[in-house]
Amino acid sequence: MAARTVFRSGLFNNKVAIVTGGGTGIGKAISAELLQLGCSVVISSRKAERLEAAAQEMRKKIPSSSPASVTPLTCNIRNEDEVKSLVSSVLKQYGRIDFLVNNGGGQFSSPAEFMTSKGWKAVVDTNLNGTFHCCKEVYTAWMKEHGGAIINIIADMWRGFPGMAHTGAARAAVDNLTKTLAIEWASSGVRVNAVAPGIIFSKTAMENYKDFGPKLFKMSVPFVPAQRLGVPEEISSVVCFLLSPGASFISGATLRVDAGQSLYRSMWEIPNHSAWPEAPEGENLDSLKDMLNPKSKL
């Protein structure tokens, strides 16, 4: 559950949010903090049992005096009809949608040369197309006439994403989509921003990578300037800020929450090789060779 929020009690009283992927990891932390602040939250993903378990856990933390409630609704965001049904159900139950947090997504680790077309399409369909479906439906069904705020959760893909080319390409596209929608929907009073987490540890994230999970997270620590991993609660507080009145003049922005990791160094190691063609001949190449392999003075 979310750590104690830094925002004032009741900040989001009587607001309504949809959080995709809201039953685990970052999405769960976001949902929990929104609930703490008085916002009613609809958590959504494909797995009903996991959603219901998360909802039951969250309900225990909602003060009796709070107007907030949590509702689990299953939805495969790849399926446009299911997204339409989700939005329709939320409007029927709550009568409004103030916030949309597109956190739902997924990927697997693999060098690009070993990715199947099916695997590539599945990740892009979820992370990019699913985000678009949710944005478009929430906008056309409610926010076009009433305004609102949308947050897209992306990733640290600024220097490419070796080992996960599918999600790197999809998340980069969502970054651009965020900028595009921020302009197209500005006249409706809709703010659209993105949050790009660095390496964020959660129990479910570790389990998603199966036996490789613990090794992956442990080996990541030296590549983070903070020399520690982040946790979901460090993302949820940023999302709550961007949804808040304190961010009323922010749209089309992507906030990196990574302790400077995107400015530091890559985990991808390139083996020693001599596969590239040699540089053009001339005095510069000769000097370069002399510098790298100086002649003995003996």
Contact between 235 and 26 under an 8 Å Cβ cutoff? The reply is: yes
Report the pLDDT value the prediction gives residue 18, as an integer from 0 to 100.
98
With beta carbons less than 8 A apart as the criterion, state whether 74 and 45 touch.
yes
Cα angle 77, 247, 235; round to 5: 55
- pLDDT number for residue 3: 55
Q: Is the pLDDT of residue 253 over 50?
A: yes
> Which residues 6+ apart lie within 8 Å of 242 measured at CB?
149, 151, 191, 193, 195, 250, 255
CA dist 88 and 49 (Å) reads 22
- What was the pLDDT predicted at 208? 76
Its CATH architecture, for the domain 16-271, is 3-Layer(aba) Sandwich (3.40)
Residue 296 has pLDDT above 80, yes or no: no
Residue with token string 């990733």: 155
**What are the tens digits of pLDDT across the range 187-237?**
999 999 999 999 999 888 888 777 777 888 999 999 999 999 999 999 999
Whole-structure pTM value: 0.93
249-253 average pLDDT score: 98
What local confidence, expressed as pLDDT, does residue 88 receive?
Answer: 98
Q: How many CB atoms lie within 10 A of CB 271?
A: 5
Q: What is the mean pLDDT of the chain?
A: 94
- pLDDT grade, residue 298 (50/70/90)? low
Q: pLDDT of 51-103, one tens digit each?
A: 999 999 999 999 889 999 999 999 999 999 999 999 999 999 999 999 999 99
Instruction: Give the per-residue pLDDT at 204.
Output: 83
Higher-confidence position of 95 and 268 = 95
Is a pLDDT exceeding 90 seen at residue 17? yes
What pLDDT, on the 0 to 100 scale, is given for residue 162?
A: 93
d(CA 243, CA 148): 9
Rounded to an integer, the average pLDDT of 278-298 is 88
End-to-end CA distance of the chain: 70
- Three-class DSSP category at 61: coil
- Quickly state the pLDDT bin for 294 (edges 50, 70, 90): confident
Binning pLDDT at 50, 70 and 90, where does residue 1 land? very low
What is the spatial distance between Cα 104 and Cα 193, in angstroms, rounded to a whole number? 16
> Cβ distance 106 to 89 under 8 Å?
no
Give me the percent of the chain exceeding a pLDDT of 90. Answer: 87
- For the stretch 87-96, contacts whose Cβ atoms lie closer than 8 Å and that sit 24 or more positions apart, written own/partner, are 87/18, 87/137, 87/138, 87/141, 87/142, 88/141, 90/16, 90/18, 90/42, 91/141, 91/142, 94/16, 94/40, 94/42, 96/16, 96/142, 96/146
Dig out the tokens for 228 from the structure. 């520690």
pLDDT band at 4 (very low <50, low <70, confident <90, very high): confident
Domain ranges of the chain: 16-271
Percentage of the chain exceeding pLDDT 70:
98
Contact 185, 143 (CB under 8 A): yes
The model's confidence at residue 2, banded by pLDDT at 50, 70 and 90, is: very low
Give the model's pLDDT for residue 213. Answer: 79
**Predicted pLDDT of residue 215:** 85
